[in-house]
Amino acid sequence: MSRKLWITVILTAFSMLIWQNALLALDKEKVYKVGVDIGYPPFSSVDQRTGEVVGFDADIARAICKHIGIQCEVFAVMFDDIIPMVERGDLDIGTAGFGYTEERAKVILYTDKYYRSNSIFIQRDQDIMEITPETISGMTVAVQRGTMQEQYLRMTYRDIVKILLCNTFDDVMEAVKAKRADLGLADGIATYTYLRSPSGRPLDIAGDPVPMIDDDCLMVLNRDSVELRDAINSAIKELRQTGEYDLINLKYFDYNIY
């Protein structure tokens, strides 16, 4: 057996050991609380007929919980509340496409990536072909509170634009449609989906995708939940290998978001 193959076998065995130890440490009688964004289709929304939380994030969270053999209940909460609730223990898992920051890493644990996305600016009744300090100087830009997009605006354009903070993704879209904001900045996948819907017809993309925001989207957990994090990371890999991830992906998107 080659040295490379031996290393692969050893790493696989080590990963299985971590996975088995993580599973043994989990409380199988507990109902784990999963938080998703309150309104972020197609990732999360509440079915008005049944009251069920639906969407890609909800489905992936339920599939992971089933795979690792724990009971989960999914709740829709304000995005900006998820990390504080995870810190306090009011939520066990935050599944809302969080980007990595050093500041967040001081208070929560991150899982591995479970999808990826860029970010884009949107406009209405304008023809902005390129986003630069010169082209957007003095404009009002709508962005969802507590997101990586807000952080990016503050780091890059805080002295150039006025930032309009919104509570939800839909609020960002509506602010631009109602011309309370000249531009909006939001997650690319959710925005592409919105633009293809009847609600998104007045809007258009402004400039190119934002390259400076990390495109890895992660789940967050309490810092004491190391075993749960390890179990989730292994489950993500397993769902990818078995094809179950792809089935959930295709339910909401006609392209691979991993």
At residue 9, the pLDDT reads: 47
The fold for domain 119-210 equals D-Maltodextrin-Binding Protein; domain 2 (3.40.190)
**Domain 3-117+215-252 - what CATH class?**
alpha beta
Nearest partner of 162 among 145, 144, 137, 130, judged by Cα: 137
Residues in CB range of 93: below 8 A, 6 or more apart: 32, 33, 34, 35, 61, 72, 86, 219, 220, 221, 228, 232
Domain 3-117+215-252 and domain 119-210, same fold? Reply is yes
Within 13 Å, how many C-alpha atoms sit on residue 14's CB side?
6
What are 56-91's pLDDT values in tens digits?
999 999 999 999 999 999 999 999 999 999 999 999
pTM of the predicted model as reported, rounded to 2 decimal places: 0.86
Q: Which sequence spans correspond to the domains of the chain? A: 3-117+215-252, 119-210
What are 102-132's pLDDT values in tens digits?
999 999 999 999 999 999 999 999 999 999 9
CA distance 90 to 54: 20
